[in-house]
Amino acid sequence: MTVVESLPAAPARSPSWWRSSPTGRQLRALVRNPTAMFGAAIVVLVLLCGLLAPLIAPYDPLAISADALAPPSAAHPLGTDDLGRDILSRVLYGARVTPLVGIAPVALSAAAGVVLGLLAGFSRGLVDNVIMRLIDVLLAFPGIVLAIAVVAVLGPGLGNAMIAVGIAGVPIFARVVRGLVLVEREKEYVAAARLCGARAPRLIFAEVLPNVAAPVLVLSTVSVATAILSTAGLSFLGLGAQPPQPEWGAMLSQGRDYLTDQWWIATFPGLAIAIAVLGINLLGDGLRDVLDPRL
Amino acid sequence: MAAYAIRRLGLSAIVVVGVSIAVFMMLRLVPGDPVSVMLSQGSTAQDAAALKHELGLDRSVFAQYERYAGNALTGDLGTSIRLHEPVARLIGQRLPATLELTVASLALATALGVLFGTLSAVRHGRLTDHLVRVGSLAGVSLPSFWLGLMLILLFGVELGVLPIAGRDGLASLVLPAVTLAMVPLGIITRMVRSSVLDALREDYIRTARAKGLGAARTLFGHALRNSLIPLVTVVGVQFGTLLGGAIIVETVFAWPGVGSLLIDAVSARDFPLVQGIILMIALGFVLVNLAVDLLYAVLDPRIRDSMETAA
């Protein structure tokens, strides 16, 4: 018998993995959490609406018609706006933008925040001090104020609004990651890796980073909801998406002028934002319970 | 306590300097020429040179910052390009309205948050608890700009019982304050709930009950009292959220505060006014955080002890 033959075979991902491994147990707990699953169902529904919008939308979202300001009817289930555009079609197409405005800013916040947090927590001393004072300065601006300041510099537009919301989220990620790294760096596996000759970049990215991933994932999920609300808020203020783009915040802003007589123009895009954000928050709450009850 | 207070004041001073540099740099970070961005069409080269000189852009960056910080320390935040009035005066005119709105919202959110959070913890696992949890999650999920419009539609347009815009008496404060209070209400409710739940499981509560203390006295005299200490921090943080949220809510309700002034200034690219308002909001937030930290240290000696040890 060769040495290779005597080694046990790598365990396949069988039902026992689902029961015994930590990840399997966490996934099982998540699937059994009814509120998290309700949230996940809403998120999937919003994603499907966006994905299938060209197939299921009854009209072109940008097509102007003579049927302006029409109330909800069989022809236009959610009514039409001041230019006769079908609100249902625009809400469905708006769902295509939502994943982008939710995920892109958070990706920016997480990437920059995680790197800054890892560097600060791992290096301590001068580097830590400089990074953390910078983060303190950014934290002195309430999130939406910082985002407005960035848009004021870069100029209005959906892309700039997403960058602004992403920058506003950096200090939160950096703070959380630094706190986690300060705990992790004292653990035995880091000392063991160091003794084996691992250098700082390897220690930071290969050893510590995977161990702070779960809380970062939870924070990211919750931040997606905040990013959607903030970007829609900037669009509502006229600083984000510009007409005629079917973005929910911008649609809501356009409907404000017609609120007293044509309530449907502002109501349905806002309802769509609320449903999407509620779904993400429910899913995020469930993830937090399962992955990291500390947050 | 004095050592902690001095250390905390020092940290705040560093942040204030950092904030002033960040706000000062805003204009310098504008892609392209900031002067041409701010000037209206049809402006001459002389207008551009005059504005450049007025803003101090024809000097070195260090000299510009020195002048900016020196002027800011004396209350001179420059002159609005669009309104041709001193920025400090414009902010002073609008600030009372914003403070009125944020303080009213914070008071509402804190009072209702403590009530709902305690109720939810005491009725843990029952229908009331589930309703409060769903309600608080809905509170943080609803976009304030949409909620505000829906409240206008219901109470202003349909029922006609409350004013829908402007600042004219207590009645006009109701809808903006309720709209702005919704997010902090959700957060405070959740925090109080979990804090009271933790406190109710503590040994001293069991001891108090074993000594024959009634449920109400145990709750109000012991559990609630101890769980309200972290509330100070949450309320402080929420003040910053409210200052940010006020920008949107003021726009929805045409509330004449600094938030709506800021949005008008951003749209008009009136940088001195934008910078002045953002500086004022950030400094207000730093001051509130400082006050909260000091108050927290007075309430909970463990905090200042840990800070003094760390120092």
- Compute the half-sphere exposure of residue B227: CA atoms within 13 Å on the CB side of its CA: 30
Q: Which of A67, A253, A250 is nearest to A76 (CA)?
A: A67
Please identify among residues 69-88 of chain B the ones whose CB lies closer than 8 Å to any CB of chain A.
Answer: none
Residue A124 vs residue B245, higher pLDDT: B245
Chosen for mutation from A43, A133, A139, A141 (greatest number of chain B CBs closer than 10 Å) is A141
Q: CA angle A137-A140-A143, nearest 5°?
A: 115
Reduced to 3 states (helix: H, G, I; strand: E, B; else coil), residue B106 is helix
A246 reaches B (C-beta below 8 A): no
Q: Please give the single-letter amino acid code of residue A240.
A: G
Domain boundaries, chain A: 27-56+79-291
Specify whether the CB–CB gap between A36 and A283 falls below 8 A. yes
Average pLDDT (A235-264) is 92
Q: What is the DSSP letter of B33?
A: -
- In B, which residues are within 8 Å of A238 by CB distance? 263, 267
The answer to whether the CB atoms of B146 and A273 lie below 8 A apart is yes
- Contact partners, residue B306, CB within 8 Å, separation at least 6: none
**Residues B43-54, mean pLDDT to the nearest whole number:** 81
Q: Which of A102, A89, A41, A69 is nearest to A269 (CA)?
A: A89
Q: How far is A144 from chain B (nearest CA, A)?
A: 6
Residue B169, pLDDT > 60, answer yes
Mean pLDDT of B251-269: 93
| Residue B275 pLDDT class (50, 70, 90 cuts) | very high
Element (H, E) at A210: helix A209-236
Looking at mean pLDDT, say which of A153-157, A267-271, B187-191 comes out highest: A267-271
Residue B311 has pLDDT above 50, yes or no: no
CB-CB neighbors (< 8 A) of B144 in chain A: 233
Total-model pTM: 0.87
Closest residue of chain B to A143, computed from CA coordinates: B244
Number of C-beta neighbours around residue B10 at 10 A? 11
Query: pLDDT band at residue A185, thresholds of 50, 70 and 90?
Result: confident
Contact list, B30 vs chain A (CB under 8 Å): 153
Q: How far is CA B184 from CA A250, B108, B144, in A?
A: 25, 9, 11
Given this model, what pLDDT does residue B294 score? 87
CB of B10 within 8 Å of a chain A CB? The answer is: no
Distance CA A295, CA A282 (A): 15
Identify the top-confidence range among A119-128, A159-168, B49-58. Answer: A159-168
Report the pLDDT averaged over residues B207-228. 77
Question: Quick one: pLDDT at residue A226?
Answer: 93
Characterize B164-193 residue by residue with b for buried, 16 or more Cβ atoms within 10 angstroms of its Cβ, and e for exposed. Answer: beebeeeebbbbbbbbbbbbbbbbbbbbbb
Q: What is the pLDDT of residue A4?
A: 45
Q: Is the pLDDT of residue B167 over 60?
A: yes
Q: Hey, are the CB atoms on B141 and A270 less than 8 Å from each other?
A: no
Joined tokens for residue A260:
């007293």
Sequence-ordered list of residues with C-beta below 8 angstroms from that of A294, at least 6 positions apart, any chain = A215
Please list, residue by residue across A16-39, b when 16 or more beta carbons sit within 10 angstroms of its beta carbon and e when fewer do. eeeeeeeeeeeeeebeebebbeeb
**Average pLDDT, integer, range A81-103:** 95
Which residues does chain B have within 8 Å of residue A145's beta carbon, measured at their own beta carbons? 243-244, 247, 278, 281-282
Please say whether the dihedral angle defined by the alpha carbons of residues A164, A167, A173 and A175, taken in this order, is positive or negative.
negative
Whether pLDDT at B187 is above 50 = yes
**Cβ-based neighbours of A208, under 8 Å, separated by 6 or more:** A118, A122, A181, A184, A185, A190
Q: pLDDT tier at A3 (50, 70, 90 boundaries)?
A: very low
Give the pLDDT band (50/70/90) at residue B120: very high
Looking at residues B126-149, what average pLDDT do you find?
91
- Rounded to whole angstroms, how far apart are CA atoms A230 and A248? 12
* A199: amino acid identity, one letter: R
Residues from chain B contacting residue A288 (CB–CB below 8 Å): none
pLDDT for res B234:
83
Nearest chain B residue (CA) to A260: B157
pLDDT at res. A78: 97
**Would the CB atoms of B146 and A225 count as touching at under 8 Å?**
no
Q: With contacts defined as CB-CB under 8 Å, which chain B residues touch A273?
A: 143, 146
Asked if pLDDT for residue A10 goes beyond 80, the answer is: no
Residue B55 banded pLDDT, cuts 50, 70, 90: confident
**Residue A18's pLDDT is what?**
65
Q: Nearest CA of chain A to the CA of B242: how many Å?
A: 9
Q: Which of residues 10-49 of A touch B (CB under 8 A)?
A: none
Q: Which residue has the higher pLDDT, B209 or A212?
A: A212
In this prediction, what percent of chain A has a pLDDT beyond 70? 92
- Measured N-to-C along each axis, helices A158-184 and A209-236 cross at an angle, to the nearest 10 degrees, of 150
Beta strands in B56-176 (DSSP E): none
Contact residues on chain A for B245, CB-CB shorter than 8 A: 144
CB pair distance less than 8 Å for B252 and A256: yes
Give the model confidence (pLDDT) of A189-239 as tens digits.
888 988 888 888 888 888 888 888 888 988 898 899 999 999 999 999 999
In this structure, what token pair is assigned to residue B19?
């904030």
Asked casually if ipTM beats, i.e. exceeds, 0.90, the reply is no
Question: Does residue B305 register a pLDDT over 90?
Answer: no
User: Under a CB-based contact definition with an 8 Å cutoff, are residues B173 and B100 in contact?
Assistant: yes
- Amino acid B109: pLDDT: 95
Closest CA to A131 of A115, A142, A144, A146: A115
Q: What CATH number has the domain spanning A27-56+79-291? A: 1.10.3720.10
- Name all domains of chain B by residue range, CATH numbers in brackets: 90-267 (1.10.3720.10)
* Mean residue pLDDT across chain A: 89
Taking CB atoms and an 8 Å limit, are B18 and A233 in contact across chains?
no
In 3D space, the residue among B275, B296, B294, B293 whose CA is nearest the CA of residue B91 turns out to be B275
Q: Is A236 on the interface with B (CB under 8 A)?
A: yes
Gyration radius of chain B's alpha carbons: 24
Q: Cβ of B187 under 8 Å from any chain A Cβ? A: no
The predicted model gives B92-105 an average pLDDT of 96
User: pLDDT value at position A2?
Assistant: 45
Q: What is the mean pLDDT of residues B193-204?
A: 84
Q: What is the DSSP letter of A37?
A: H
- Whole-number Å distance between alpha carbons of A201 and B310: 27
Q: Which one, of A253, A259, A258, lies nearest residue A235 by Cα?
A: A253
pLDDT at residue B36 tops 80: no
Residue B84 neighbours by CB distance under 10 Å: 7
Å between B285 CA and nearest CA of chain A: 6
- Give the 3-state secondary structure of B166-196: CCCCCHHHHHHHHHHHHHHHHHHHHHHHHHH
> Tokens for A187?
């653990």
Task: Output B31-37 pairs: Cβ under 8 A, ≥24 positions apart.
Answer: B31/A153, B31/A154, B31/A155, B34/B271, B37/B269
Residues 262-291 of A with CB under 8 A from B: 263, 266-267, 269-271, 273-274, 277-278, 281-282, 285
Average pLDDT over residues B284-309: 78
Q: What is the pLDDT of residues B13-27, one digit of tens each?
A: 999 999 999 999 988
Taking residues B131-152, report their average pLDDT: 92
**Average pLDDT in the B151-159 region?**
94
The rounded mean pLDDT for chain B is: 87
Q: What is the pLDDT of residues A44-70, one digit of tens each?
A: 999 999 999 999 999 999 999 999 999
Cα–Cα nearest to B273, from B12, B78, B18? B78
Q: Answer yes or no: is pLDDT of B148 > 80.
A: yes
Degrees, nearest 5: CA angle A242-A246-A250: 50
**Among the listed ranges A25-34, A153-162, B82-91, B263-272, which one has the minimum average pLDDT value?**
A25-34
Q: Tell me the C-alpha distance between A115 and A138, whole Å.
A: 16
Burial class (CB in 10 A: 0-12, 13-18, 19+), A58: exposed
Output DSSP code: residue B223: I
List residues bridging with B79 in a β-sheet.
Answer: B86
The region, left, alpha or beta by phi > 0 then psi within -120 to 50, assigned to residue B97 is alpha
Over 80: is that where the pLDDT of A15 sits?
A: no
